[in-house]
Chain A
């Protein structure tokens, strides 16, 4: 390992690893949406739920997903950082 690590970088604790997992879930959702906008806009014009089209539904869904994942992260981090949490 590099000798230039003083002070040590914050190691990837369990909360950090959970954060990374959630981050990659969102990356897939976000860039999946961008790929649809770029290559299959016709899919986004469809109205699978009857009311609003998929473009708006997925836009609102991405905003809701960001909030949901952030709350999951906050709760999960609190659990793993509680006394004995890292051992769970």
Chain B
């Protein structure tokens, strides 16, 4: 669909971004030490850090991806919410306190606290960079997607805007301003999603059948876009979709319910009939055509598992394993994400780490409950763009008012800013602190460490911008799933075993991180999803039985660590490797 930018939207958006960058400069005006740059002097209050956890974690995939998935496929999007939150249980109960007591600036510090090994630092720094970059790509792609309807600018401009703003934020004040950006973003996101949910509930559900004629979007070989055979213009565009066909019988002839309570909303929706749209792509000599067709479904069918994860209903074992693997990776991945782990170094002690995780779980849990209502509200809003699931939440806001649309889009953009700044912070720490200082052993004074981190941040910002433009057609949630799988496979076995198995050796850790990372990466590159979506090949050509690697590669990481640790002799006490 074509979008018209409005001056109000641009003004609100610009004020958000400028306010965030200005705050960053203000916070960064003081002189900095390395501890200030990488770990905010360990002085962040636990409550601020807890909300910043939410800001860090609730990325474009959570906000845009999950809402869109629920809006188009129903309950299955909520499974992502459940899995993303469950991961915090591992973080809180298993990882939070030990990692706080072991580390200094980075995740590699914690893994290496016992052995002082360059090999560990090198392998963990590389895995941090790989996970951060895989997590960066969908954020940048999401930023570009948002800019198109909001400002009417090309996708690449959105990516560059985010890249420049984030690099400025990180370079000006490091972890201090990164934390505050995430705090502001986390608070705004939960608050405005709460506002939007209360508006959905007070609007209730209204029957709006709309036109059920199929729609076709074609792209000709010379790049022209046609809608139903005619050139796409604002007056001749795809129709917005997502409507309620009928209310439950108990409403008789009424076409609207009026305000509903949260559980009542879900209950009425379950007894209603809903029209969802799906697209089917084909290619011929005249171009690529996507035909969007409507299907009327019972609400009860949309609110049960199986709408997106088709394997849940086909009964095929490989499909079931694929789903189980994804849910395992979501459970194990959170506590292995470097940009989440470094946030434990910004508070003063283990008790503060624990308290900030609880605050984070409360904010993130509340947000994920809201995503259910946002997604279902969008599903019946009559405002969805059939070509873009990512735009469901902003377009839902637009169905209420232009101002709300601008605010929600600006928050979504700030969401990307917050997450990307955390990722670049983690990546720059891996390069400057782990690789340059500890692996290459280049001597640096305190100012040198900060300078090196800033140079690394600028470099990573440029890489992120390039990848965001390169991967623009990728599905955001799909890429985030990759990042979780790689993080869980490479980092979790080493982290858990180091903390709880005394016979763990440095060789075991290096092998587990390296094998976990390479195995999950290789599996992903050979998966049916990648064959189809990336290489454009047949799914059947894939040599691996299912697409999500976690079910195999996470246990593999543990196995490799145990076997290698048992085979290698422990270093004598007092002689670091």
Interface residues of A (CB under 8 A from B): 1-7, 9-10, 12, 15-16, 19-20, 22-23, 26, 30, 33-34, 37-38, 41, 44-45, 47, 50-53, 55-56, 59-60, 62-64, 66-67, 69-71, 73-74, 77-78, 81
List 20 interface pairs A-B (beta carbons < 8 Å), by A numbering.
Answer: A3-B573, A4-B115, A5-B114, A6-B114, A9-B502, A10-B98, A10-B499, A12-B500, A15-B97, A19-B94, A23-B94, A26-B86, A37-B312, A41-B305, A51-B263, A56-B75, A70-B361, A74-B355, A78-B351, A81-B351
Q: Shortest distance in angstroms between A8's beta carbon and chain B's nearest beta carbon?
A: 9
Whether B304 contacts A19 by the Cβ 8 Å rule is no
Task: Kindly list chain B residues whose C-beta atoms are within 8 Å of the C-beta of A62.
Answer: 82, 85-86
Interface residues of B in 329-383 (CB under 8 A from A): 331, 351, 354-355, 357-358, 361-362, 365, 368-369, 372
Known: A37-B79, A66-B88, A74-B355. A2 touches B101 (CB 8 A): no
A59-B82 CB under 8 A given contacts A4-B573, A45-B304, A74-B354 = yes
Whole-angstrom distance between the Cβ of A37 and the nearest chain B Cβ:
5
Q: How many Cβ-Cβ contacts under 8 Å join chain A to chain B? A: 147
Query: Which of B88, B300, B323 meets A37, CB within 8 Å?
Result: B323
Interface residue SS majority, chain B: helix
- The interface size of chain B toward A, counting residues with CB under 8 Å, comes to 59
Q: CB within 8 A of A66: which of B86, B97, B113?
A: B86
Q: Contact partner of A23 among B90, B114, B365, CB < 8 A?
A: B90
Whether B89 pairs with A4 at a CB distance below 8 angstroms is no
Question: Any chain A CB within 8 A of the CB of B498?
Answer: yes
Q: Which residues of B contact A10 (CB under 8 A)?
A: 97-98, 101-102, 499
Bound Cα distance A7, B109 (Å): 13
A53 and B573 form a contact (CB under 8 A): no
Does B139 sit at the interface, judged by CB under 8 A?
A: no
B78 at the interface (CB under 8 A from A): yes
Complexed CA–CA distance, A60 and B358 (Å): 17
| B82 engages A38 (CB within 8 Å) | no
Give the distance in Å from the alpha carbon of A14 to the alpha carbon of B349 in the complex: 17
Task: Find the B residue at minimum CB distance from A21.
Answer: B93
A70 to B113, CA, bound (A): 27
Query: Which residues on A sit within 8 Å (CB–CB) of B300?
Result: 45, 53
Assess whether A56 is in contact with B324, with CB atoms less than 8 Å apart.
no
Assess the B331–A30 pair: CB atoms within 8 A. Answer: yes
Q: How far is the CA of A62 from the CA of B355 in the complex (A)?
A: 20
Contact B502 A1 (CB under 8 A): yes
- Cα separation A22 to B369 with both chains bound (whole Å): 22
**Which residue of chain A has the shortest Cβ distance to B267 in the bound complex?**
A51
How far apart are the CA atoms of A1 and B263 in the complex, in Å? Answer: 55
Query: Which residue of the partner chain B has the closest CB to A72?
Result: B358
